[in-house]
């Protein structure tokens, strides 16, 4: 990370490792830049105060990896379904996913970390970006060409599978059938085919997140957040978070303290899960989400 971006007086964004603030970025100013020996930086927040009873801005000395330049944003951008965004909320920018486009340039955004879904004006949203080796990924759209050399597919025209969209990807490989893995579309490779970068799967050397080509038969938008499920029922079809992906299974037993046993037909296994690691199973059929049947026969 280049220190040239973080000189005294530089405007930056600051992340936190405290519970309840992870995934958020707050505006601030560099008060004391890092030195070659101490990879620490002192910052002053623009919107956070030192004490609720005082108006003095909060100052902290933090690790250099916790700051980045102020993220760029496009003007008058229209956001797409399943696109990963930052929403300005509670004095900071919080990472979420667009789940619905509403009237009056407003959008519904789902926050995975808290399970909340909140409505925002377009002016309070920006495309989510990562600061990586001195560059913004993805780059500012006004500086980059978003058109593929090939003809756009129906999905890209509709904005479902556009650059930067957060999606889920499946695989036909043995041992991975029935699983969906979160990924981001980097760009269109050819008709009905994209390069994606997984959110949780890494390369064999564990240096980077895994990138690979996927066609539209194996890509779908991230499922919308359904109404909160206080308790799953026996034989209800669910997705279970396991080995960095969502695996389709069926509730075979209901245990105490919000725990369940889930049966996986593909591997003929039963595994115990917490309620928080399960979601209702939904299928993406003909461009629509369909809730799964609750009466799947375990013996089939």
Residues 129 and 169 in one domain: no
- What is the residue range of 171's domain? 154-221
The pTM of the full predicted model, rounded to 2 decimals, is 0.50
The verdict on residue 208 lying in a domain is: yes
Q: Looking at residue 75, what is its pLDDT?
A: 76
Whether residues 15 and 65 share a domain: the answer is yes
- Please give the Cα distance from 78 to 81 (Å, whole number): 10
Tell me if 141 is assigned to some domain.
no
pLDDT below 50 — which residues of the chain? 1, 143-158, 294-300
| 79 part of a folded domain | no
Q: Are residues 165 and 209 in the same domain?
A: yes
Tell me, yes or no, whether 122 and 158 share the same domain. no
Whether residue 130 is found in the same domain as residue 162 = no
215 and 245 share a domain? no
CATH number, position 100: 2.30.30.140
Residues 50 and 107 placed together within one structural domain of the fold:
no
Is there a single domain that holds both residue 190 and residue 163? yes
SS (H, E, C) 280-294: ECEEEECCEEEECCC
Domain for residue 24, yes or no? yes
pLDDT given for residue 287 in this prediction: 81
Structural domains in the chain (count): 4
Please give the pLDDT value at position 142: 55
Same domain? 58 vs 89: no
Q: Are 165 and 183 in contact (CB under 8 A)?
A: no
Q: With CA atoms as reference, report the closest residue to 180 among 192, 162, 198.
A: 198
| 282 CB-near residues (< 8 Å, 6+ apart) | 223, 224, 226, 289, 290, 291, 292
210 and 184 in one domain? yes
Q: What is the CATH number of the domain that holds 42?
A: 2.30.30
pLDDT tens readout for residues 239-267 = 999 999 999 999 999 998 789 999 998 88
């Amino acid at each position: 990370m280049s220190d040239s971006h973080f000189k005294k007086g530089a405007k930056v964004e600051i992340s936190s490792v405290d519970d309840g603030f992870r995934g958020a970025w707050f505006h601030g100013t560099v008060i004391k830049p890092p030195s070659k020996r101490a990879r620490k930086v002192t910052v002053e927040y623009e919107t956070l105060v030192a004490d609720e009873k005082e108006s003095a801005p909060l100052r902290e000395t933090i690790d250099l990896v916790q700051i980045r330049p102020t993220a760029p944003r496009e003007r008058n951008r229209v956001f797409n379904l399943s696109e990963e965004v930052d929403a300005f909320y509670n004095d900071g920018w919080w990472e979420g996913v667009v789940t619905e486009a509403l009237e009056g340039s407003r959008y519904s955004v789902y926050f995975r970390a808290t399970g909340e879904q909140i409505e925002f004006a377009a002016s309070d949203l920006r495309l989510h970006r990562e600061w990586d080796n001195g560059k913004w990924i993805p780059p500012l759209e006004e500086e980059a060409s978003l058109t593929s050399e090939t003809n756009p597919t129906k999905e890209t025209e509709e904005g479902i599978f556009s650059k930067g969209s957060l999606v889920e990807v499946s695989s036909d490989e043995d041992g991975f059938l029935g699983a969906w893995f979160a990924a981001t579309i980097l760009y269109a490779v050819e008709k009905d085919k994209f390069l994606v970068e997984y959110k949780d799967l890494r390369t064999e050397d564990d240096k980077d997140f895994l990138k690979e080509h996927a066609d539209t038969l194996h890509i779908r938008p991230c499922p919308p957040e359904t109404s909160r499920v206080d308790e799953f029922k026996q034989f209800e079809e669910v997705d279970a978070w396991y080995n960095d992906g969502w695996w389709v299974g069926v509730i075979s037993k209901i245990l105490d303290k919000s725990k369940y046993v889930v049966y996986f037909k593909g591997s003929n296994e039963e595994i115990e899960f917490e309620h928080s690691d399960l979601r209702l199973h939904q299928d993406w059929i003909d461009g629509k989400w369909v809730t799964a049947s609750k009466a799947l026969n375990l013996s089939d």
